[in-house]
Amino acid sequence: MAEINITEQEEKKSLNFIEQRVKTDLAEGKNGSRLQTRFPPEPNGYLHIGHAKAIAMDFGVAQKFGGVCNLRMDDTNPQKEDTEYVEAIERDIKWLGFQWGKVCYASDYFQDLWDFAEWCILQGHAYVDEQSSEEIAAQKGTPTEPGTNSPFRERPAEESLKLFREMNSGNVEPGKMILRAKIDMANPNMHFRDPIMYRVLNMEHWRTGNKWNAYPMYDFTHGQSDYLEGVTHSICTLEFVEHRPLYDLFVNWMREWASDCGGKAESGSRLSNLYSQLSTYQGPRQFEFNKLNLNYTLMSKRNLLILTKEGVVNGWDDPRMPTICGIRRRGYSPQAILNFIDKIGYTTFDALNDIKLMEAACREDLNTRAIRVSAVVNPLKLVIDNYPEGLVEEMTAINNPELRDADGNTITENNTHIIHFTRELYIEQEDFMEDGGKKFMRLGPGKEVRLKNGYIIACSDEQDEHGNFKCIEKDIEGNIVCVHATYDPDSKSGMPGADRKIKGKTLHWVSCQHSIPCEVRNYECLWTCENPRDAIKQYEKENGVRGIDAMRPFLNPDSLTINRNALIEEFAKELPALSYLQFQRIGYYNVDPDSTSEHLIFNKTVGLKDTWQKGSK
């Protein structure tokens, strides 16, 4: 009996419609109150954020209601699949924090499926069709017109059986024969118009080698795999709603097969197990939820593959990719992804989600997770004229101010690091303006600001005989290259004099001597239009081009900007790859896996919320 262990808090939060259904089924004792789900990726590409939603559902519901979720590789098409993807899929699921009961492969069931298919032939449920794919397509009809029967539809079962076995001999050319289910060529549901069960590929499979030359199709595999494994709730996305009646039909045939042949089957075999479970296991039921659509994002594996092949991005884990590995490299935590998925929920409405919601979930998560560091992205030299030359002071910087004790005070133990203060510093170019105006609360002539964890400093508003501010040094082109200020020695951070209220903001800075050059990679959306999938489709139609040529017009040329002039405090040198950071006052950043202590590389995950820039635009 499955244990229903929902905490009180979770209970208060409403269950989504599938969870409600699961809860009801368990309470009513369906399938002996057993819960089993599966996550069934095809190992032909990398998992993306859309899969993460399915993963969160399949594994999440099992976790929540005391069931088990297996990972099943849906590997029925050896033309597209490869073992290299299996490892990546397993790694990504683990990284998201989920654990499967076991790893299964649809190819493990090829013999069962074959035996079942032979039974179907003998029952008159299936026949071998020898028409070309064009002829079959022509007979299929259209959604508005019924199809017509194949001339091979009524051939004797023995003949079909003989041909079916030939299909697997390697002597039949692909395309010459297929096995079809005999259902209804006039059915308004296209999937019922004698769907294809098996096709000849004459191709080696990466797991079963040369054993099979004919391979089963998805519709003749999925429900049966679920049934053979003992899945109770087979959860998938909305586009499979129309497949459900066929899914149910094949599962029902399989129950009949188990009932017919299971008693004679070898004990311990899957068929024999099905036979012994006939009264306690009714079989899997399929449930569908809406898949994840994100604006300014292209999700389909086919198109993501094109982006990697054409070099638009630097591989599947490029931080601009919506793949799990890409998002990981971008700097999202697993929890940030899961929180986002939790916020958008599961319904049957085809929603287009705003990427801003994902970024908000990311900020919320990283705010409590990221170590604050000082980095200056566009450096401007600042000399503190009255600060002793050669003096180096060690200042204390808090790693994470969100780390609080029970009273809400920031925890300082093991939550600080040292940052060096010197006479010559770098500040951000945009933190100094010669004529910033009254609302500009940062540095400028006659303005006073605080340097984070440092001192209060001020620029004089004295001018020379030409009307130039003495605190500003310019090059011949008039660019500000250096600014001068004086510090208030009593205002050192942590000292009583530091409590003084000032008008200006607090700026981040790094010491010229103690900062390290680093590369900062900033990312924006890959696409300039909200719905790239539709835009590309329409462009393909209107211009007669396909693939990358239809994508180019919608690619954002500024999706990656690299800044090699940035400087970061020494503390950041020690941080391991994928560390979650916040560049104080700028945004969240992540240590790139390619980063070395000789060449530091940081990826921008997402910017901080910035009400100042918005207001000034």
Binding residues for RNA restricted to 593-612, rule: CB under 7 A: 608-612
From candidates 27, 80, 392, 490, binder to RNA by CB under 7 A: 80
From candidates 215, 421, 426, 432, binder to RNA by CB under 7 A: 215
DSSP 282: -
Nearer to RNA, 318 or 359 (CB): 359
Residue 21 binds RNA, judged by CB under 7 A: no
Binding residues for RNA restricted to 566-595, rule: CB under 7 A: 582, 584-585
Query: CA-based angle 611:612:613, to the nearest 5?
Result: 95
Piece of 315-323, 338-346, 522-530, 560-568 that binds RNA (CB under 7 A):
338-346
Q: Which of 216, 262, 246 is closest to 109 using CA atoms?
A: 216
Nearer to RNA, 135 or 594 (CB): 135
Piece of 12-20, 82-90, 264-272, 314-322 that binds RNA (CB under 7 A):
12-20
Asked whether 23 and 302 are in contact (CB, 8 A), the reply is no
Binding residues for RNA restricted to 362-421, rule: CB under 7 A: 363-364, 367, 372, 401-402
Binding letters toward RNA, positions 285-324, x by CB under 7 A? -----x----------------------------------
From candidates 54, 96, 120, 178, binder to RNA by CB under 7 A: 178
Shortest approach of RNA to residue 573 CB, angstroms? Answer: 21
Asked whether 96 and 55 are in contact (CB, 8 A), the reply is yes
Residue 83 binds RNA, judged by CB under 7 A: no
Token reading at 513: 């001597």
Nearer to RNA, 34 or 191 (CB): 191
Nearer to RNA, 99 or 616 (CB): 616
Report how far residue 526's alpha carbon sits from residue 540's, in angstroms, rounded to the nearest whole number.
19
Residues 6 or more apart from 363 whose CB is under 8 A from it? 588, 606, 608, 609
Q: What is the largest CA-CA distance in the chain?
A: 108
From candidates 137, 392, 562, 577, binder to RNA by CB under 7 A: 137
Nearer to RNA, 133 or 252 (CB): 133
DSSP 595: -
Binding residues for RNA restricted to 180-199, rule: CB under 7 A: 188-191, 196, 199
Length of the chain, in residues: 617
Residue 79 binds RNA, judged by CB under 7 A: yes
Nearer to RNA, 95 or 218 (CB): 218
Report how far residue 259's alpha carbon sits from residue 438's, in angstroms, rounded to the nearest whole number.
84
From candidates 268, 349, 406, 414, binder to RNA by CB under 7 A: 349
Q: Which of 245, 276, 284 is closest to 259 using CA atoms?
A: 276
Residues 6 or more apart from 93 whose CB is under 8 A from it? 39, 47, 55, 59, 71, 100
Binding residues for RNA restricted to 33-52, rule: CB under 7 A: 40, 42
Binding residues for RNA restricted to 95-124, rule: CB under 7 A: none
Residue 225 binds RNA, judged by CB under 7 A: no
Shortest approach of RNA to residue 465 CB, angstroms? Answer: 31
Report how far residue 126's alpha carbon sits from residue 129's, in angstroms, rounded to the nearest whole number.
9
Binding residues for RNA restricted to 505-564, rule: CB under 7 A: 505-508, 534
Report how far residue 141's alpha carbon sits from residue 190's, in angstroms, rounded to the nearest whole number.
9
Residue 16 binds RNA, judged by CB under 7 A: yes
From candidates 7, 9, 142, 414, binder to RNA by CB under 7 A: 142
Residue 14 binds RNA, judged by CB under 7 A: yes
Strands 424-428 and 379-384: antiparallel
Nearer to RNA, 36 or 77 (CB): 77
3-state secondary structure 175-206: CCCEEEECCCCCCCCHHHCCCEEEEECCCCEC
From candidates 5, 24, 83, 133, binder to RNA by CB under 7 A: 133
H or E segment and range at residue 327: helix 324-330
Using CB under 7 A, count the residues that bind RNA.
94
Nearer to RNA, 17 or 114 (CB): 17
Residue 167 binds RNA, judged by CB under 7 A: no
CA-to-CA separations, 229 to 31, 192, 234, in angstroms, rounded: 13, 25, 11
Piece of 30-38, 262-270, 439-447, 512-520 that binds RNA (CB under 7 A):
439-447
**H and E: helices and strands count for the chain:** 17, 26
Shortest approach of RNA to residue 312 CB, angstroms? Answer: 22
Residue 357 binds RNA, judged by CB under 7 A: yes
Binding residues for RNA restricted to 481-500, rule: CB under 7 A: 491-494, 498
Rounded to the nearest angstrom, the gap between the alpha carbon of residue 534 and the centroid of all alpha carbons in its chain is 21
Binding residues for RNA restricted to 257-286, rule: CB under 7 A: none
CA-to-CA separations, 234 to 11, 36, 61, 285, in angstroms, rounded: 23, 8, 11, 6
